[in-house]
Amino acid sequence: MDHDEILELTGEKTAHLPEAVSRRGFFKLGAAGAAGAAGLALARSLRAQDKPAGHKPPAQPPAEIRTNVDEIKAIPRTGESMPGRFPGRVVKVATGQVRAGGEIDAARVEKAVARGMAELTGESDLAKAWAQFVAPKDIVGIKVNPIGGKTISTKPEVVEAILAGLAAAGVPKANIVIWDRRLHQMTEAGFTAARFPGIALAGTEMKGPNDDFYDEAGELWAKDNIDREAPFYFADLEMPYNKDLLAAMINQGRESYFTKIVTRKVTKIINVPILKNAGGTVTLCLKNLSYGSLSNTSRLHKIWAKSVAEPNGFPCLRDKVVLNVVDALQAQYDKGPGANPQFVYDANFLLFGTDPVAIDAVAHDDLVKVRIEKGVQPFDAPRNREFLDLAAGLGLGIAQRDNIRLQETVL
């Protein structure tokens, strides 16, 4: 049976052409082999579709959700604003196998980080390479992603290698904070005081000394961890939260506030996400920063692309994120962003760059390729790159692959 025969199973070469298909010039109604398909009755069984039951007007597309992103565009940029020192540049270091028997080869990871920094900066001297991004007086925040527990979170070994670089650049331990939204998830992922002595560990959402998110008066312990005075992200949608969810969101309504960690505490941010899928795209640099820094995010999933991109345009992120180091030693290609070991694989690479959009674009293509190879998705859809285009439109980086310089090296 050839291609045409599948469609011409009754031998009736029909004229029912989907307009959209023919308009795009994709339709090719080949004649060869069509008639020989008699006896196969697909078309007969399909004829009923020509007059689908229950004609109704097409559903109206959801109204565009208004945000306040235009307001922040007017805030002047600094010399270090995204996309930083190396717009459109991404360094990929293939590490070789770093995981064996459930353990990560920390020495190999440290070498890979050093190599990546050297490739990115052109400085073979570790201290000089790191000094391009941080100074000893900086308060450096290392933003990790610990949501996937020990299965698929930023690996402590990667952060340890970054700490080695910061130490080489003269940044004292007391000036470094490893942070995320959720302190308890950092603990679960291995970011503990025992493992990182002398380094501050901070979360926006946190329990108090009573081991509860609420104090005896029913107030959230974390309520003052968000900055209600700094510019906030407004999105014209809301959802009610119960008490449990409010503990994880800190506030409800139409405003999402940035954590004081980014607005007040740190002067520089090093973003260290882990490569995971979110549907047919990645949850990586931009998402780790936006959703990791904001309160009241549950509602934002309804405007995923906008809410991943736009918060990065706020000065507390745009002007402070100096470097992105992507942990793709292990990655998850399906059923993310939650941890599902079933879909975790040893990707064995790290990405480096100052341009979070370019890195996300490169990683998106890489992960989609894996998903297609594994039969998880048939093709890449433009909709899945929307957040990249939005971020590029805000001047946060380069989304077009033709304009991205990917520099690959093997350890």
The rounded distance, in Å, linking the Cα atoms of 134 and 132 is 6
Q: To the nearest whole angstrom, how small is the minimum distance from the Cβ of residue 336 to another protein? A: 7
Decide whether 76 or 240 has the Cβ nearer to another protein: 240
CB of 42 to another protein, least distance (A): 4
Query: Among residues 187 and 409, whose Cβ is nearest to another protein?
Result: 187
Nearer to another protein, 165 or 292 (CB): 292
Calpha distance 39→29 (Å, rounded): 20
Nearest-approach distance from CB 302 to another protein, in angstroms: 9
CB burial of 143-152 (b: ≥16 within 10 Å; e: otherwise) equals: bbbbbbeeeb
Query: CA nearest 254: which of 289, 300, 214?
Result: 300
What single string gives the DSSP state of each residue in 223-272?
A: GGGEESSS--EEBS------HHHHHHHS--SSEEPEEHIIIII-SEEEEE
* Shortest distance in whole angstroms from residue 123 CB to another protein: 37
> Which is nearer to another protein, 39 or 79 (by Cβ)?
39
Q: Nearest approach, Cβ of 103 to another protein (angstroms)?
A: 9
Q: Can you tell me which residue has the tokens 């979070």?
A: 356
* CA 131 – CA 144 distance, rounded (Å): 21
Name residues whose C-beta falls within 8 Å of residue 106's C-beta, 6 or more positions apart in sequence.
157, 160, 161
CA distance 14 to 4: 12
3 vs 405 by CB, closer to another protein: 3
Q: Which of 53, 217 has the CB closer to another protein?
A: 53
Nearest distance in Å: CB 364, another protein? 14
Q: 6 or 174, CB closer to another protein?
A: 6
Q: Check if the beta carbon of residue 388 is closer than 8 Å to that of residue 363.
A: no
Q: Count CA atoms closer than 13 A to 85's CA, side-chain side.
A: 17
Question: Shortest approach of another protein to residue 216 CB, angstroms?
Answer: 21
